[in-house]
Amino acid sequence: MSSLPHPEPISGANYSAAELTLANDAVILLDQRLLPSREEYVLFRDVPALIEAIRSMVVRGAPAIGIAAAYGLVVGARTVSSEAEFQRVAEAIASARPTAVNLRWAIERCIRAVKAAKVTDYAEIIAQEARAIHREDVAACREMGRLGAAYIPDGGTVLTHCNAGALATGGYGTALGVIRGAVEAGKKVRVLADETRPLQQGGRLTAWELAKDGIAVEVIADSSAGWFMARGEIQAAVVGSDRIAANGDVANKIGTYQVAVNARAHNIPFYVAAPWSTVDLSCPSGADIPIEERAASELTQRGDVRVVPTDVGVRNPAFDVTPARLVTAIFCERGVIREVSATGLSQLT
Ligand code: MRU
């Protein structure tokens, strides 16, 4: 279906990455693989299909896959017949993708809610918790957006990488939330969106949602960001994150690290916007963050056309790690971390 089939979306917009039906019987996902050509919603009523949707990036972006996972657990809880089966379903959803910590975080939070409630109607308890996760994520995005907006120069151009917007979260967005916050505060902001090879989250998704909001955006090739910085055309970079380690190292979409290196070389602030659910204090440093390797076909194919010789190997890590020393500040709903380090993060615990 081509319009959001939900009367009161928690996203707070007329589109949403993930919602749960009012009857708690299906997860509604906007198929992001089809954007910007088509806005199409799909209903998921079983867990294997939902897991495949997360893997194949029907839904993507760290907070959004956490929310979709929690909603998926509601659907799963309606069908399981034993505690052991419930645990297996929960583990299967939590391991659908490895890098974004929000996925496992959301599932573990739902399991804790079930244990604390000591009731047999798991689905109802999980539905309440999952909706709370969704609501809190939107509120967190708005708050980090409000805090981060103060750091965006009026009249400036902001570079962003991948899509850390409403489509990647419960709604409003993290990095794009900061840009929205700046615009709502009355600042004039232009955005350069890295196209984000190989799956074009910047070119397809960031451009789609900013254009919908009437925010000035232009798409650039990833490889041109350094050149635009050298020409003085970028005043700040803002990105999201899939996992922030205890020492402040930041995992995000592949290509983020080279944005940070370029920003440092050109004396441009490099900001990360993320909810506290993305901070993983059990992960000592970026070296401990699992990095997803995705299919070679994402690089070897353009549609049906093969663009890499058949006898040549391919490396396709989906994320990289930016060391804390390259991050100017982290915007979070708990506050702004100006000293990006274990000490700085521990001040918000
Ligand atoms: O592979 P994706 O599209 O799920 O990667 C998403 C990103 O890297 C985002 O920048 C990150 O999840 C932050 S979303 C608020």
The per-residue pLDDT for range 207-226, each reduced to its tens digit, is 999 999 999 999 999 999 99
Please tell me the predicted confidence (pLDDT) of residue 185.
Answer: 98
Question: Residue range 27-56: average pLDDT?
Answer: 98
Among 5-9, 86-90, 285-289, which is the least confidently predicted range?
A: 5-9
Please tell me the predicted confidence (pLDDT) of residue 1.
Answer: 78
> How is residue 111 written in tokens?
């399991």
Tens digits of per-residue pLDDT, 154-183? 999 999 999 999 999 999 999 999 999 999
Tens digits of per-residue pLDDT, 70-97? 999 999 999 998 999 999 999 999 999 9
Residue 41 has pLDDT above 90, yes or no: yes
Ligand 1 pocket: which of 252, 259, 319 to mutate (most atoms within 8 A of CB):
252
Tens digits of per-residue pLDDT, 312-332? 999 999 999 999 999 999 999
Q: How many helices (H) and strands (E) does the chain have?
A: 11, 16
206 within ligand 1 shell (Cβ under 6 A): no
CB 180 within 8 A of CB 213: yes
- What is the pLDDT confidence band of residue 118, given thresholds at 50, 70 and 90? confident
B/e letters for 199-213, b = 16+ CB within 10 Å, e = fewer, are bbbbbbbbbbbbeee
Ligand 1 pocket: which of 33, 241, 271, 280 to mutate (most atoms within 8 A of CB):
241
Residue 255 has pLDDT above 90, yes or no: yes
How many angstroms separate the CA atoms of 290 and 98, rounded?
Answer: 6
For ligand 1, atom 15: residue with the closest CA: 164
* Catalytic (active site) residue 222: no
